[in-house]
C-alpha cells in the first residue's frame, strides 16, 4: 500500500467528471452529486477527496451542510488527509447551524469522525435498500418515478403508477429488498468562546461563535468598547477565557464573567472600568427607557436641532447635495416650514382608491414590527422636542449619537459619528 503525507499534497476543487470517476472506482456507495468537492493532489494525481452539499430535507434543522463523501485511493493511505481537507472547508465556508455526515454501521466503524471533531448526534431508524447482482442500491432507486424513467412503459405515468406497488415493480425487475441498520449521524456544531478585551484599563467581556479557534481575529462589538477603541486608536489585548461552549453555555458563562468583571473593576455607568452595557447572555443594548433617559434625549435634540448653530453648520457642510445647492431651504428645514408631504391636498377618485386598495390587500411591510416600535419612540420625540417627524428623521444618525453621549456622565468619552468628520 502506498503511504502519502497530506502535507505533500495540494488542495484543489475537483471537477464533476473527475469526482464521478474517482468515487465510482474507490467508494463503496459510488458517486453522489455535491456543491463543493475538495481534493488532495499528489504529483498532479487525485488521491483523496471530500464532497459537501447543503442539507435538503426540511426536518434537518440541526445542520446546514452535509459531508456527502470522504474517500481515498484504494491502494493508498493518506496520512492527515481527512483533517487537512476538513480544516480547509471550515476555514473557507460558513457551516451555519452545523455540518452533518452519516455513517453506515454495516460498512464503516465511524472511528474517524470523533478524531475529526464530529460528535454523534443521533441514530436513524432502520431502513431498506435494494440489491441486484451483488450491487447495492438505495431505496430512492425504487421510487416509481425512477422505475418509470428506466423501463419507459407506453401508458402515462399517472395511470401506470396506480397499477403496481414499488415492491411489486422492483421484484419483477429482479431487485431484492433488504433491511439494514439505521445510519449514525455525526455533527460538527459551531462553538462559542468567552473573551475579555482590555484597552487602557477598560475591560469588556463578550462571547463569539467560531468554527476554528486558531483563525479567529474578532475584536469585540460592544458600543462602549468601540468608543474606547476609537478614542485611543487601539483595539486592545484580547484574552480567551473559555472556549468549546454551546450557545446556552456561552450565555450563562458570559453573564457570570460580566458580573465578576463589574465586581472587580466597577461599572462604567458608575465611573468604573467595565464597559459592558448589558448584563450578558442576550447581546445588544438593554437599557429601559426611563423618564430620565427620555429627558436627556429631549434636551440633546433641543440643543442640537433648535438653538445650536454648530449643528446647522454641520448640515451645511455634510448635508446632501440638494442642501448644498439650495442653501436657502436649510433654515426652512430647521424651522419646520418645509415639511409639506408630496401628496398633501391631493384627492383620489373612487376608481383610484379601489386600485390602491386591491394592490395593497394582504401585503405586510417586511419591517412592520420595527417601524411600529420606531414610530412609538418617534411620537415621544415629537412631543418632547416640538420638532416634526421629517426634521428628526433627517438627523437620526445624530439622534443616536445623542443617546450614547450620556452613557458615562462623569467621564464622557470622545467619539465620532458614522461619517467620522467631527468629534465632540
CA distance 269 to 293: 13
CA distance 363 to 245: 41
Write out residues in the chain with pLDDT < 50, as ranges. Answer: 337-338, 365-376, 395-424
At 226 the pLDDT is: 84
CA distance 23 to 94: 25
Q: Which of 133, 25, 9, 118 is nearest to 66 (CA)?
A: 118
Give the torsion through C-alpha atoms of 15, 16, 17, 18, to 10 deg: 50
Strand partners, 178: 129
At 323 the pLDDT is: 64
At 11 the pLDDT is: 94
- Within 10 angstroms of residue 117's Cβ, the number of other Cβ atoms is 18
CA 29 to chain centre: 33
CA distance 176 to 167: 9
Classify strands 2-5 and 76-79 as parallel, antiparallel or unpaired. parallel
Cell 494525481, residue located: 45
At 100 the pLDDT is: 92
3-state secondary structure of 62: coil
Q: What Å distances lie between residue 333 and 128, 208, 329, CA to CA?
A: 74, 44, 6
Q: Return all residues near 405 (Cβ < 8 A) that are at least 6 apart.
A: 300, 412, 424
- Residue 110 has what DSSP assignment? -
**Alpha-helical runs (H) found in 135-240:** 144-151, 157-160, 166-172, 223-232
Q: Return all residues near 291 (Cβ < 8 A) that are at least 6 apart.
A: none
CA distance 414 to 419: 15
For 303-331, b/e burial (b = at least 16 CB within 10 A) is ebbeeeeebbebbeeeeeeebeeeeeebe
pTM across the whole model: 0.54
Cell 416640538, residue located: 386
The dihedral through the CA atoms of 379, 384, 385, 387 has a sign that is: positive
Q: Which of 48, 37, 96 is nearest to 72 (CA)?
A: 48
CA distance 8 to 44: 11
Amino acid at each position: 500500500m502506498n503511504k502519502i503525507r497530506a502535507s505533500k499534497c495540494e488542495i484543489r476543487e475537483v471537477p464533476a467528471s473527475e469526482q464521478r470517476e474517482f468515487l465510482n472506482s474507490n467508494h463503496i456507495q459510488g458517486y453522489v452529486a455535491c456543491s463543493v468537492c475538495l481534493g488532495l493532489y499528489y504529483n498532479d494525481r487525485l488521491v483523496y477527496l471530500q464532497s459537501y452539499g447543503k442539507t435538503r430535507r426540511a426536518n434537518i434543522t440541526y445542520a446546514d451542510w452535509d459531508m456527502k463523501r470522504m474517500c481515498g485511493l484504494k491502494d493508498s493511505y493518506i496520512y492527515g488527509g481527512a483533517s487537512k481537507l476538513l480544516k480547509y472547508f471550515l476555514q473557507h465556508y460558513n457551516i451555519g447551524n452545523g455540518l452533518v455526515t452519516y455513517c453506515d454501521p454495516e460498512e464503516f466503524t465511524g472511528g474517524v469522525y470523533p478524531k475529526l471533531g464530529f460528535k454523534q448526534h443521533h441514530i436513524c431508524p432502520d431502513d431498506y435498500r435494494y440489491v441486484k447482482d451483488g450491487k447495492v442500491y438505495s431505496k430512492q432507486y425504487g421510487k416509481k418515478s425512477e422505475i418509470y424513467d428506466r423501463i419507459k412503459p407506453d401508458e402515462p405515468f399517472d395511470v401506470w403508477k396506480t397499477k403496481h406497488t414499488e415492491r411489486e415493480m422492483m421484484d419483477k425487475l429482479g431487485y431484492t429488498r433488504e433491511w439494514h441498520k439505521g445510519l449514525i449521524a455525526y455533527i460538527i456544531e459551531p462553538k462559542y468562546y468567552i473573551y475579555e478585551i482590555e484597552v487602557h484599563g477598560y475591560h469588556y467581556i463578550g462571547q463569539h461563535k467560531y468554527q476554528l479557534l486558531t483563525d479567529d481575529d474578532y475584536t469585540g462589538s460592544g458600543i462602549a468598547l468601540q468608543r474606547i477603541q476609537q478614542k485611543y486608536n487601539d483595539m486592545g489585548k484580547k484574552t480567551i477565557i473559555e472556549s468549546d461552549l454551546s450557545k446556552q453555555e456561552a450565555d450563562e458563562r458570559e453573564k457570570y464573567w460580566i458580573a465578576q468583571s463589574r465586581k472587580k473593576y466597577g461599572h462604567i455607568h458608575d465611573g468604573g472600568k467595565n464597559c459592558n452595557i448589558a448584563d450578558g447572555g442576550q447581546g445588544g443594548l438593554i437599557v429601559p427607557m426611563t423618564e430620565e433617559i427620555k429627558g436627556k434625549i429631549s434636551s440633546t435634540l433641543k440643543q442640537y436641532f433648535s438653538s445650536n448653530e454648530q449643528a446647522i453648520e454641520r448640515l451645511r457642510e455634510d448635508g446632501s447635495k440638494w442642501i448644498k445647492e439650495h442653501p436657502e431651504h436649510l433654515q426652512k428645514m430647521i424651522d419646520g416650514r418645509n415639511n409639506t408631504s408630496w401628496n398633501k391636498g391631493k384627492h383620489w377618485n373612487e376608481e383610484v382608491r379601489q386600485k390602491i386598495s386591491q394592490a395593497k390587500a394582504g401585503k405586510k411591510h417586511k419591517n412592520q414590527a420595527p417601524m411600529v416600535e420606531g414610530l412609538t419612540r418617534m411620537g415621544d420625540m415629537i412631543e418632547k422636542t416640538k420638532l416634526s417627524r421629517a426634521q428628526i428623521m433627517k438627523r437620526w444618525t445624530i439622534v443616536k449619537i445623542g443617546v450614547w453621549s450620556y452613557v458615562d456622565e462623569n467621564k464622557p468619552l470622545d467619539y465620532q459619528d458614522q461619517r467620522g468628520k467631527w468629534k465632540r
